[in-house]
Amino acid sequence: MHLATSKLPKRKNGSVNAVRKEDLPVHDWYRFVLSYPPHLVRQYMAAFGLTSKDLLFDPFCGTGTTLVEAKRNKIPSVGCDAHPFAALVSRVKINWDLDAQTLRNSFRRILRKAGRIATANGLQALSFDAEMLQDKRGVYGSDIALNEDEEKLLPTGFLSQRPLQRLLILRDSIEEETEGELAEVREFLLVTLAHVIANGAGNFAFGPEIYRTKAKSDYDVMGHFARHGDLMIKELIAVQSADLAKTPSEVFAEDARTLSQIPGQISAVITSPPYPNEKDYTRTTRVESILLRLLTDRPCLRQVKESLLRSNTRNIFVDDSDGDEVKEFASIQKVCREIEKRRIELDKDSGFERLYHKVVSHYFGGMRKHLRALRPKLRPRARLAYVVGDQLSFLMVPVATAKLLSEVAEAEGYKTTGCDLWRERIGTKVRNSLTNEKIVRVREEVLLLQKA
């Protein structure tokens, strides 16, 4: 099948993907590397002609870009994500009803308490703590630490001891000081803490995979928390004053292959599911999820991985059967066979490499289940936009994600109405013996569907 595609964008990928300055409020309360930019959502909300009478759905809502953008434009929305941390972040980012003064009081109490505990444990506020520069190990309260199970989940070197202790003190103070408060107040504060972890306190960065950076001996956790909290409250007041808080929006922690809690009468979907590649979606937010007690031990991590779409070899399990859903798709089966053939030719024999072809079939099978669960929730002729990327992660065998997904969607009662090129990235450079350099371009596209 041929998909009509639009022309290449004139702008460079960086500017296509960058969040514009005017879009930072609320979106930047916590935003992860997997997010797409708000202007992309606006483009499709406009193309679909959405108004306040519609209901926009994001079944893979991540950190809530679609939902926040919908609310800013007075379009009712609903979202879900199977990862509890993503669901928490999205829930906080679309709750614009909280009382600013209550939040300010909570921040003050928590910072006062955390400051006292830190000082009592030899962790004075950074600017006054000359002793800390001498790195005297063992001086600090050794009982302020992750437990053994949590420690095992933390990627090695992602948090230094003193920033970790400061974060734990703050986390415990948030929990104790918000005991009598609304759960929403506590969640707002925890998302503020998550921002501190991912944007300063941790020894990790993204490019686009998560990687370890130089270890920090210490970090001004409380200062960052106070400043970011203050910014979030100011932005909350701004959206409240602009009368934007009333538009309904709801988030569910739910598997998009089931959608049992999601209401009907959805008029449009704008979303970006995982792509079939080697990205472990639980690693991107691992540190924050552990610190916020959303991932407590290995069985808990496994449970979360099982609730996610199969998209990488780290979340394939022996009992998986999503692949059965796409047995009759010759195009998908051909890609799977090609991957296995290439693996055998290249003599690649690790446990992970042997799973490559399974990722592809389970991925498209899972997407088929999702599209099947979604269809009855849609209004007639509902419009859908799926942002997906082609892949070369599995021994350089091309996986044309949008094209294959379009075939799966058509088998589930959807019509393909277009496929826009969003951006291209350079996949890899292959030199042949004549030194000709072949640049492989990998497309990220927006697959446009309509309920048939």
Ligand X SMILES: C[S@@+](CC[C@H](N)C(=O)[O-])C[C@H]1O[C@@H](n2cnc3c(N)ncnc32)[C@H](O)[C@@H]1O
- Chain contacts with ligand X (rule: CB under 6 A): 34-36, 60, 62-63, 65, 80-83, 86, 255-257, 272-274, 281, 308-309
Which residues on neighbouring strands pair with residue 249, listed in sequence order?
Answer: 77
Q: How far is the CB of 325 from ligand X (least distance, A)?
A: 14
Q: How far is the CB of 322 from ligand X (least distance, A)?
A: 10
Euclidean distance between CA atoms 225 and 284, whole angstroms: 21
Euclidean distance between CA atoms 217 and 158, whole angstroms: 12
Give me the phi and psi of 176, to 5 degrees please.
Answer: -70, -45
Q: Which is nearer to ligand X, 35 or 165 (CB)?
A: 35
Q: How far is the CB of 74 from ligand X (least distance, A)?
A: 20
Q: How far is the CB of 374 from ligand X (least distance, A)?
A: 11
Q: Which is nearer to ligand X, 309 or 405 (CB)?
A: 309
Q: Which is nearer to ligand X, 69 or 187 (CB)?
A: 69
Euclidean distance between CA atoms 114 and 125, whole angstroms: 10
Of 82, 91, 420, the closest CA to residue 273 belongs to 82
Q: Is 357 exposed, middle or buried (0-12, 13-18, 19+ CB in 10 A)?
A: buried
Element (H, E) at 147: none
Q: Which is nearer to ligand X, 105 or 296 (CB)?
A: 296
Q: How far is the CB of 40 from ligand X (least distance, A)?
A: 9
Which residues on neighbouring strands pair with residue 447, listed in sequence order?
Answer: 386, 419
Of 236, 221, 238, the closest CA to residue 110 belongs to 221
Q: How far is the CB of 281 from ligand X (least distance, A)?
A: 5
Q: How far is the CB of 9 from ligand X (least distance, A)?
A: 19
DSSP state of 216: P
Q: How far is the CB of 172 from ligand X (least distance, A)?
A: 27
Contact 144, 165 (CB under 8 A): yes
Q: Which is nearer to ligand X, 106 or 285 (CB)?
A: 285
Alpha helices in 280-350, H assignment, sequence order: 281-284, 286-291, 298-307, 330-345
Count of all residues that appear for the chain in the document: 452
Q: Which is nearer to ligand X, 173 or 271 (CB)?
A: 271
Residue with nearest beta carbon to ligand X: 62
Type of residue numbered 75: I
Element (H, E) at 425: strand 414-431
Q: Which is nearer to ligand X, 82 or 191 (CB)?
A: 82
Type of residue numbered 337: R
Q: Which is nearer to ligand X, 63 or 165 (CB)?
A: 63
